[in-house]
Chain A
Amino acid sequence: MNQVIMQQKNIAIIGGGPAGIEAAASLAGLGHHVWLIERDSELGGHLRLMFNLFPDKRPADEVLQEMLTHAQNPNIEILTNTQVVDCQQIANNRFALKTDKGQTLEADAVLMATGYRLFDAARKEEYGYGIYPGVINSFELEAMLKNNALKNVKGEVPRRVILLHCIGSRDEKVGNHYCSKVCCVTAVKQAIEIKRRHPDTEVFCFYMDIRMFGPYYEELYREAQEKWKVSFVRGKISEAAANLDGEIQIKAEDTLIGKPLHMRTDLLVLMCGMEADTDEPVAQQLGIARGQNRFFRSADNYTLYNNTNVEGVFTAGACTAPMNIIDTIANARAAAISIHNYLGCRS
């Protein structure tokens, strides 16, 4: 028994979203002591903002609650409303983390679970986000669904909603070459949810490519078309403007028939992609390498996915690449095992 306590190691997890929560639960289960550090007042990250999750449409709150239940472990010390302001490598391959609450945590390993930043749609001025109230982003639509308040600018149920894919993703002009992966299936999920609640509302998805990368996603896409009559138009919208009624007028090209399109809509929803949070101070201080896409770079994409270039510093979840909840949970567990093995070798 004494030996186990002596072998107990301290791990600092930065970020209390799905990746941080799941990794904390796994590490604590393996007998380690974990500080789970979250800058917000509650754990959950972006998952807290979601209504339901593809592909099974399970409520997001339910998934989060289940994860939090797993994380109820005396080995986990949850530090909410806390930010790490300083992080230094100290003797014996350990790390000293100072928080804005004045604590100093000495950790044997650090897990970065800092997640992503939603692309700021105002950077694509041509879509009028932040200028016209009828233009919203995908999280704002999710909030409307969550609060049961899907409304146009006049406060009525919208007659038509257009979802525009690939905002800030696969867009050379904003410097993001990568695909954010989850936005296509999110749009499909949201389109179905709108139609389920308001069958008379027309829903259009404007896309460049439809990328249904996960199990049951393609089926969901078929369901959207066949059961819910969501219209998919291949072509990106070039510009949007509001008329006097607050309706949004869009210009696009249907690239399958090669014809220009002009349409009006009550709501234009911009499916914003994920970006790396490059302002994160700990990563800067520790010198964690980033890839060309600015997300953390894995030591090896195949066999050392959760390792970074800094020994003792690991990553989990969407801070390494755009990732859905399912993959984030799996990735966080993998990170926990990687850390456990690393600490085992050292003792």
Chain B
Amino acid sequence: MNPTPFDIFVLPFTVGMSLLFAYLILKYASWIWYFDRDDKLKILRGLFSLKSLKAAKEIFLESLIHRKMFLVNKRLGYMHMSLAFGWFLLIVIGAVEGHTYMGGAAPFYFPIFFVYFVPDDESFFFARGFVQLMDAALLLVLSGVVVAIVKRFYKRIVGMKSTTQLRLRDKMVLYSLWLIFPLRLFAESATCGLHGSGGFLTGTVGSLMAATLPLEAIEYPLWWAYSIDLCLFFIGLPFSRYMHIPTEMVLIFFKNWGIRLKPDNPILEEVMVLSCPRCGVCIDRCQLNTAVGNHDTQAVYFLQRIRNSEEHSAQAKNCLMCGRCESVCPVGIDLNAIRLRHRQNFTPETFVPQYNNAEARKVDVVFFTGCMGHLVPKTKDAMVKILNASGDNYWFMDADGGVCCGRPMKLAGQTTAAEKLMAKNRQSIIDSGARTLVTSCPICYKVFREDYNLDIEILHHTEYIKRLIDSGKIKVGKLNTAVAYHDPCELGRGAGIYAEPRAVLGAVATLAPVPDECKNSLCCGGSLANLTLPSADKMRIAQQTMTSLTTNHPDVVATACPLCKKTLNRTQMAPVEDIAELVAEAMK
């Protein structure tokens, strides 16, 4: 048993670390305190269940290894992984080393400054091994720091066209973080150089330093600098973007315990906002950036404004809600839901809805084309032809028009009007006694599935048509047409329907490949979710998307959404048709 080592330079670190811990404990406690009863129960039930283990695994994969970020961008993933996982290794191996040396009674600052206190003792268990392992971990972190520094000045090094812009406060904490590991390297190397000890890294750097520098004079100040820098980083952390490190882990637990974002409870949103590491993966995904040249509405900037309590009503509105950012967010933040929550805060509820007064008919299948469906009569007529041929007993619920599903109003923040409309429509659907509801609009489809609480089957027309073809209820031939398929945001990323439209198109035409498909598909730009984007900008987005869709020179661009069809058609770059039109044409 060794005596407890101490030097006054450990104080800055100890104070900084204690303040940070105290702050975090208060913060976590306040979050849990403000959750509603339902969420608190979820925490209680989840705490000692398998869900916590699942969360721990997810933390390891996402917060340390950064698996999702690797999938999006390997170099950026490496940068985050080397910093996070390398530091994690330093802490864990250091703690094991320190406690091995002290027989399990090391004060918590001890592993951090281990090399200073134990410069050349190799008598304890695995001492040589610990030295090399610690050097390897330090090297891993340092490699990440180098990439991070280069990225700040040359972002293309990690394959990014844009990186986040920082505030002064973030910059100061960023610099203190960058300094931690070089300071540690030089402090440890100085001590090793003086004692002729150290591993492959600190030993080598140490002997080089010994040969060129007055080590006796600089060793002690280096350890002070290391401790002070750690203190600065820990104190600055809660007020900087690095708060994401302790928050993201908590978020992963919350999500695994089943806590979801609620319109009336801002706590989980606060956790999500703080969890954003500002990696900036969302920036290059955003077509408002790549096609329109907007550089302040992307998710990372929107969250930053919420966090800093800055004006963000413009950012809340200027979003297509296409979900391209959400689908790659490494932290899994519900970006669309947060955006929508903030629209409600800014949109006065003024809209008076018009109702559908059509008398419900007793049928098996209800068909709902939606307001946008009426604006593309070719699609609507094709669906009527298909429904007539199917032999199903159906009711075209909004044949005379005049009814809205409610989602456009919801997206505009008009929640009350939307709810009134939905209740009315829901009753009509229930009155019809139908077992299946078919709609040709993905916007309607999503709201029927998520908000109508209907106890019947809800199908998009691509799903319905696939079923009709599979069961032989309609017979189709193959058209001599090459088709590129455009995934509508609300149908693809929004509702996860990728396979059915492709299966139907494969049956009636030849499917041409498209560079950005499925989860990565581009947005047509016509999104109802963005009421502030000028038409010319929407056109730019549509042209970018059509350029991608026509890469392999299809005869027709097919889609499964009336809004996408209208928006893409405006570019006049290629004919755009709904899948239903192609099926109606191919029907025997």
A interface, CB within 8 angstroms of B: 123, 125-126, 128, 131-132, 172-175, 238-241, 251, 260
B401 touches A251 (CB 8 A): yes
For residue B512, give the distance in angstroms from its CB to the closest CB of chain A: 23
Q: Which of A128, A173, A241 contacts B570 (CB 8 A)?
A: A173
For residue A61, give the distance in angstroms from its CB to the closest CB of chain B: 34
B377 touches A125 (CB 8 A): yes
For residue B461, give the distance in angstroms from its CB to the closest CB of chain A: 17
Q: Is B402's CB within 8 Å of the partner chain A?
A: yes
**Beta-carbon nearest neighbor of A135 in chain B:** B377
A125, A172, A260 — most chain B CB neighbours (10 Å):
A125
List the B side residues contacting A128 at CB < 8 Å. 377
B376 touches A173 (CB 8 A): no
For residue B140, give the distance in angstroms from its CB to the closest CB of chain A: 54
In the complex, 29 of the A-B residue pairs with CB atoms within 8 angstroms, ordered by the A residue number, are A123-B569, A123-B570, A125-B375, A125-B376, A125-B378, A125-B566, A125-B569, A126-B374, A126-B375, A126-B376, A128-B377, A131-B378, A172-B535, A173-B570, A174-B570, A175-B535, A175-B536, A175-B539, A175-B570, A239-B374, A239-B375, A239-B401, A240-B377, A241-B374, A241-B377, A241-B380, A241-B401, A251-B402, A260-B402
Known: A131-B381, A132-B377. 9 other contacts (CB 8 A): A123-B569, A123-B570, A126-B376, A131-B378, A175-B535, A175-B536, A175-B539, A239-B375, A239-B401
A131 touches B377 (CB 8 A): yes
The docked-state distance in angstroms from the alpha carbon of A172 to that of B533 is: 12
Q: Is B354's CB within 8 Å of the partner chain A?
A: yes
How many B residues touch A, CB cutoff 8 Å?
A: 17
The docked-state distance in angstroms from the alpha carbon of A240 to that of B374 is: 8
B375, B377, B539 — most chain A CB neighbours (10 Å):
B377
**Beta-carbon nearest neighbor of A127 in chain B:** B377
B interface, CB within 8 angstroms of A: 354, 374-378, 380-381, 401-402, 535-536, 539, 566, 569-570, 572
The docked-state distance in angstroms from the alpha carbon of A132 to that of B377 is: 10
The docked-state distance in angstroms from the alpha carbon of A132 to that of B381 is: 11
List the B side residues contacting A131 at CB < 8 Å. 377-378, 381
List the A side residues contacting B570 at CB < 8 Å. 123, 173-175
For residue B388, give the distance in angstroms from its CB to the closest CB of chain A: 13
For residue B404, give the distance in angstroms from its CB to the closest CB of chain A: 13
List the B side residues contacting A239 at CB < 8 Å. 374-375, 377, 401
List the B side residues contacting A125 at CB < 8 Å. 375-378, 566, 569
For residue A245, give the distance in angstroms from its CB to the closest CB of chain B: 15
For residue A136, give the distance in angstroms from its CB to the closest CB of chain B: 16
The docked-state distance in angstroms from the alpha carbon of A132 to that of B378 is: 10
A126 touches B354 (CB 8 A): no
For residue A36, give the distance in angstroms from its CB to the closest CB of chain B: 31
**Beta-carbon nearest neighbor of A128 in chain B:** B377
The docked-state distance in angstroms from the alpha carbon of A279 to that of B374 is: 32
List the B side residues contacting A172 at CB < 8 Å. 535-536
The docked-state distance in angstroms from the alpha carbon of A238 to that of B570 is: 17
B377 touches A126 (CB 8 A): yes
**Beta-carbon nearest neighbor of A239 in chain B:** B374
List the A side residues contacting B401 at CB < 8 Å. 239, 241, 251
List the B side residues contacting A174 at CB < 8 Å. 570
List the B side residues contacting A240 at CB < 8 Å. 377
A260 touches B374 (CB 8 A): no
For residue A201, give the distance in angstroms from its CB to the closest CB of chain B: 25
The docked-state distance in angstroms from the alpha carbon of A239 to that of B566 is: 13
The docked-state distance in angstroms from the alpha carbon of A173 to that of B402 is: 22
6 nearest A-B residue pairs (beta carbon): A126-B375, A172-B535, A239-B374, A128-B377, A125-B376, A131-B377
For residue B556, give the distance in angstroms from its CB to the closest CB of chain A: 15
**Beta-carbon nearest neighbor of B526 in chain A:** A173
For residue A205, give the distance in angstroms from its CB to the closest CB of chain B: 22
The docked-state distance in angstroms from the alpha carbon of A125 to that of B378 is: 8
For residue A97, give the distance in angstroms from its CB to the closest CB of chain B: 29
A173 touches B535 (CB 8 A): yes
**Beta-carbon nearest neighbor of A129 in chain B:** B377
List the A side residues contacting B374 at CB < 8 Å. 126, 239, 241, 251
List the A side residues contacting B569 at CB < 8 Å. 123, 125
**Beta-carbon nearest neighbor of A174 in chain B:** B570
A123, A128, A173, A260 — most chain B CB neighbours (10 Å):
A173
The docked-state distance in angstroms from the alpha carbon of A173 to that of B381 is: 23
The docked-state distance in angstroms from the alpha carbon of A174 to that of B401 is: 24
List the A side residues contacting B380 at CB < 8 Å. 241
The docked-state distance in angstroms from the alpha carbon of A239 to that of B570 is: 17
The docked-state distance in angstroms from the alpha carbon of A48 to that of B570 is: 30
List the A side residues contacting B539 at CB < 8 Å. 175
For residue B181, give the distance in angstroms from its CB to the closest CB of chain A: 55
The docked-state distance in angstroms from the alpha carbon of A251 to that of B398 is: 13
The docked-state distance in angstroms from the alpha carbon of A239 to that of B354 is: 16
For residue A269, give the distance in angstroms from its CB to the closest CB of chain B: 17
List the B side residues contacting A241 at CB < 8 Å. 374, 377, 380, 401
The docked-state distance in angstroms from the alpha carbon of A172 to that of B375 is: 17
List the A side residues contacting B566 at CB < 8 Å. 125
B375 touches A260 (CB 8 A): no
For residue A131, give the distance in angstroms from its CB to the closest CB of chain B: 5
The docked-state distance in angstroms from the alpha carbon of A240 to that of B380 is: 12
The docked-state distance in angstroms from the alpha carbon of A152 to that of B535 is: 36
List the A side residues contacting B572 at CB < 8 Å. 123
For residue B571, give the distance in angstroms from its CB to the closest CB of chain A: 9
For residue A27, give the distance in angstroms from its CB to the closest CB of chain B: 36
The docked-state distance in angstroms from the alpha carbon of A240 to that of B401 is: 10
List the A side residues contacting B536 at CB < 8 Å. 172, 175
The docked-state distance in angstroms from the alpha carbon of A172 to that of B539 is: 10
For residue A254, give the distance in angstroms from its CB to the closest CB of chain B: 15
For residue A174, give the distance in angstroms from its CB to the closest CB of chain B: 6
B354 touches A260 (CB 8 A): yes
List the B side residues contacting A251 at CB < 8 Å. 374, 401-402
The docked-state distance in angstroms from the alpha carbon of A260 to that of B402 is: 10
**Beta-carbon nearest neighbor of B565 in chain A:** A125
**Beta-carbon nearest neighbor of A120 in chain B:** B572
**Beta-carbon nearest neighbor of A132 in chain B:** B377
